[in-house]
């Protein structure tokens, strides 16, 4: 019997319309894809969008049903302009509704893997506060052997290195900040402070923030010599709290399925249920790793990949042009992935939350995500509305051999634990 593979590619922050409960998060009207399309279309009509010319064109994603999924998610409202002129549909499409309370990457990925987060995470400080709990910072300074800590509270990661990067290099004090997400982020210079030392410090912080129920500690290394020249590198690393229960990744691994995490997948699951991890944040490197593992691995496998730059480089920075360009760059590489699929393989394209670059603030937005499936008979089908991201993981698990009985048993255990 031929081995089967399922690829789940998460376009980090790729939402396609606000959820019914978006008002609880202050995200009414958020629509990551829809607003990018509108801005591109308006810019096309005017001749440019701050240097970008033309409507957003995503022919491969559209052939998998992206426009149709967005229309369903948006209550039958079509996008402002078509994503392609191609009418042939090579995939199946639908959209999924988040069940988890937090609107972040950890909760989104855990829910895809069958473990929704039904209670919110903890948060270290409120909007406007610049300091963290004194017990936390004192312990981090002592255990990390630090001369001190530059505390920024709620802040933009690119702004804090611009504002405090030179002070950090001069004093050796790392820069600590957070956002509306349940995160504790530490920025430090790769050369002046050291990348290994930054990772070690974040490992210490991971243990210290457990008492506050913080989802992730994020290492944010940067390089450069002057404020205007500082830039973050691809050596970001997430230190997540481990899943509080078994996920589909654990179940698949224990049943002999190889689970390959690409991008920040292993970080988000604290390595739990992962057979092999390939670290990268760059889109091309993630796509290359997916294609390589489709071709090289001959065992029944789940290839779970995250494309983080949509979120960290463009969504949070409210960079509409950058987000549009990154979407088109991914779309151009997507045919290579589809071509690499074997006859027993499937590809699932989805998201983990929204991050509408036209929305107020710089935080994630509460949105539906697309569910686009290609391969193994998934052609020209509407999958409709998925009531939870868990349905995405179920699609992959069934394809890889989990029976309805096994899945029912797994999710019944989760319901009993709630």
Q: Which of 271-275, 351-355, 378-382 has the lowest average pLDDT?
A: 378-382
Tell me which long-range contacts 199-203 makes (C-beta under 8 A, separation of at least 24): 199/237, 200/144, 201/140, 201/144, 201/146, 201/174, 202/237, 202/239, 203/239
Do 252 and 200 sit in the same domain of this protein? no
Q: What is the pTM of this model?
A: 0.91
Indicate whether 191 and 97 sit together in one domain. no
Question: Do 158 and 209 belong to one domain?
Answer: yes
pLDDT in tens, 243-299: 999 999 999 999 999 999 999 999 999 999 999 999 888 999 999 999 999 999 889
* Residues sharing a CB contact under 8 Å with residue 348, sequence separation 6 or more, in sequence order: 6, 7, 8, 9, 371, 372, 373, 392, 395, 396
Do residues 73 and 51 make contact, with C-beta atoms less than 8 angstroms apart? no
- Both tokens of 74, joined, read 């948006």
- Asked which of 240, 258, 280 is the last residue of a domain, the reply is 240
Tell me what pLDDT residue 45 has. Answer: 52
Least confident of 15-24, 51-60, 100-109, 253-262: 51-60
Give the β-pairing of 276-278 and 175-178. Answer: unpaired
- What's residue 414's pLDDT? 66
Helix axes 32-46, 66-73, angle to 10 degrees: 110
Confirm whether 120 is domain-assigned: no
Q: Which has the minimum average pLDDT: 79-88, 162-171, 362-371? A: 79-88
- Confidence band of 117 (pLDDT split at 50, 70, 90): very high
Task: Report the pLDDT averaged over residues 119-129.
Answer: 84
Residue 225 — very low, low, confident or very high, per pLDDT cuts 50/70/90? confident
Specify the CATH number for the domain of residue 386.
3.40.720.10
Q: Indicate whether 172 and 262 sit together in one domain.
A: no
Domain boundary residue among 196, 219, 240? 240
Domain count across the chain: 2
| pLDDT tens readout for residues 383-416 | 999 999 999 999 999 999 998 788 888 887 665 4
Q: What is the pLDDT of residues 30-54, one digit of tens each?
A: 999 999 999 999 875 554 555 556 8
CATH number of the domain residue 205 falls in: 3.30.70.1250
Q: Which of 258, 267, 261 is nearest to 203 (CA)?
A: 267
Phi and psi torsions of 78, nearest 5°: -75, 160
Same domain, 251 and 225: no
Of the three residues 211, 240, 269, the one that is the final residue of a domain is 240
What per-residue confidence (pLDDT) applies to 386? 98
Is 248 found in the same domain as 175?
no
Q: Specify whether 322 is located in the same domain as 412.
A: yes
The answer to whether residue 112 scores a pLDDT higher than 80 is: yes
Contact 5, 340 (CB under 8 A): no
The domain of 178 spans 134-240
For residue 319, pLDDT beyond 60: yes
Note the pLDDT of residue 418: 41
Please check whether residues 247 and 262 belong to one and the same domain: yes
Same-domain status, 41 and 78: yes
CA distance 9 to 112: 11
Is residue 334 within 8 Å of residue 151, measured between CB atoms? no
């Amino acid at each position: 019997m031929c081995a089967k593979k399922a690829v789940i590619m998460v376009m980090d922050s790729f939402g396609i319309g606000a959820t019914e409960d978006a008002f609880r998060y202050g995200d009414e009207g958020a629509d990551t894809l829809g607003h990018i399309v509108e801005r591109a279309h308006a810019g096309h009509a005017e001749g440019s969008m701050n240097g970008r010319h033309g409507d957003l064109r995503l022919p491969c994603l559209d052939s998998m049903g992206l426009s149709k999924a967005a229309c369903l998610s948006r209550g039958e409202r079509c996008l402002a302009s078509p994503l392609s002129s191609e009418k042939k549909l090579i995939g199946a499409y639908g959209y999924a509704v988040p069940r988890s309370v937090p609107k972040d990457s950890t909760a989104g990925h855990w829910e895809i893997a069958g473990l929704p987060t039904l209670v919110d995470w903890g948060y270290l400080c409120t909007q406007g506060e610049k300091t963290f709990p004194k017990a936390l910072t004192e312990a981090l300074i002592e255990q990390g052997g630090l001369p001190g800590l530059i505390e920024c509270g709620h802040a933009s990661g690119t702004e804090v290195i611009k504002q405090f990067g030179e002070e950090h290099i001069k004093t050796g004090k790392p820069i600590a900040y957070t956002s509306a997400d349940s995160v504790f982020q530490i920025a430090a210079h790769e050369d002046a402070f050291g990348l290994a030392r930054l990772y070690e410090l974040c490992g210490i912080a991971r243990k210290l923030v457990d008492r506050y129920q913080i989802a992730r500690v994020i290492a944010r290394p940067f390089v450069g010599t002057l404020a205007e020249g500082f830039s973050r590198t691809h050596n970001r690393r997430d230190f997540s709290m481990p899943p509080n229960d078994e996920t589909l990744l654990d179940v698949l691994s224990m049943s002999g399925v190889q689970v390959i995490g690409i991008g920040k997948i292993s970080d988000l699951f604290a390595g739990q249920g992962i057979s092999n991890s390939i670290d990268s944040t760059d889109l091309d490197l993630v796509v290359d790793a997916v294609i390589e593992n489709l071709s090289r691995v001959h065992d029944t496998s789940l290839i779970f990949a995250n494309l983080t730059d949509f979120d960290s480089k463009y969504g949070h920075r409210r960079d509409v042009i950058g987000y549009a360009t990154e979407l088109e760059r991914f779309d151009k590489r997507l045919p290579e992935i589809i071509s690499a699929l074997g006859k027993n393989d499937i590809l699932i394209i989805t998201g983990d939350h929204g991050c509408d670059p036209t929305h107020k603030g710089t935080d994630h937005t509460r949105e539906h995500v697309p569910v686009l499936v290609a391969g193994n008979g998934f052609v020209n089908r509407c999958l409709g509305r998925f009531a939870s991201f868990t349905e995405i993981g179920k699609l992959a698990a069934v394809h890889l051999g989990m029976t309805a009985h096994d899945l029912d048993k797994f999710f019944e255990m989760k319901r009993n634990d709630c």
